[in-house]
Amino acid sequence: MRTSLALFVCLVLGASLGCSPSTSAPDMQIVEGTVTFDGKPIETGRILFRQTEGDGRAYSTEIVEGSYKLEVKQGPSEVTITASRLIPGKFDNSNGTPEQMGEMYIPARYNRKTELNALVTPDGKNQFAFDLVSK
């Protein structure tokens, strides 16, 4: 009786071995922070971290109500931020039916010709706040 019980417990424990959730890829760190434009949080937009060393891989996520959170490989990255808004009364007709157009209102120095950088480290808090200004 006792040995059977012990056998049962061993079986259950043995079966559950190796069932823990696998961890994410190596060297990945959680990065989070806030993004503001002229002092106000960016409601919707995208932020992208591109490795400036190695193969130049990029990681990106949405900015929601001024904050973001994603996994980035450790090391130096350049950061680009984009956000858009609709232009009232401006339409594109290339498909035969008018579709409302928008504009990307973040200056080029934060995206196309970015000057933003971040160093993602394996230890310590990877929190980066980006306070963008229009001028």
Partner 1 sequence: MNRNQESPKGFTLVELLVVIAIIGVLIALLLPAVQQAREAARRSQCVNHLKQLGLAMHNYQSTFGIFPYGQQTEVGGNTHRRDCWYQRILPFIEQRAMSDAYESDPAEYVMYVAANVRTAEVFTLTCPSDPGAPGHGASGSSTSFQGNYGMSCGPGKYSFNTSTSPATISVTSMDIVGSDPGGMFYRESHNSFRDCTDGSSNTLMAMEGIVRKSGVSSWGETGGYWGGAPHGSFGISVAETPNTSVADRLYSCSVTSVPGAPSHAPCENGNSGGLPGRWNFARSYHPGGVNSVMVDGSVHFFADTINRQTWLKLGIRSDGQVIGEY
The reply on whether position 74 binds partner 1 by CB under 8 A is: no
Q: How far apart are the first and last CA of the chain?
A: 80
The reply on whether position 15 binds partner 1 by CB under 8 A is: yes
To the nearest whole angstrom, how small is the minimum distance from the Cβ of residue 47 to partner 1? 11
The reply on whether position 7 binds partner 1 by CB under 8 A is: yes
Which H helix or E strand runs over 2? helix 2-16
The reply on whether position 87 binds partner 1 by CB under 8 A is: yes
Residue of 11, 64, 119, 133 interacting with partner 1 (CB under 8 A):
11
Binding mask 28-57 for partner 1 (x = CB under 8 A): ------------------x-x------xxx
Backbone angles phi, psi at 24, to 5 degrees: -70, 175
To the nearest whole angstrom, how small is the minimum distance from the Cβ of residue 104 to partner 1? 5
**How big is the site for partner 1, counted in residues (CB under 8 A)?**
34
Taken in order 67, 43, 35, 81, is the CA torsion positive or negative?
A: positive
With H, G, I as helix, E, B as strand and everything else as coil, classify residue 84. Answer: strand
- Sequence-ordered list of residues with C-beta below 8 angstroms from that of 69, at least 6 positions apart, any chain: 30, 31, 32, 61
To the nearest whole angstrom, how small is the minimum distance from the Cβ of residue 121 to partner 1? 20
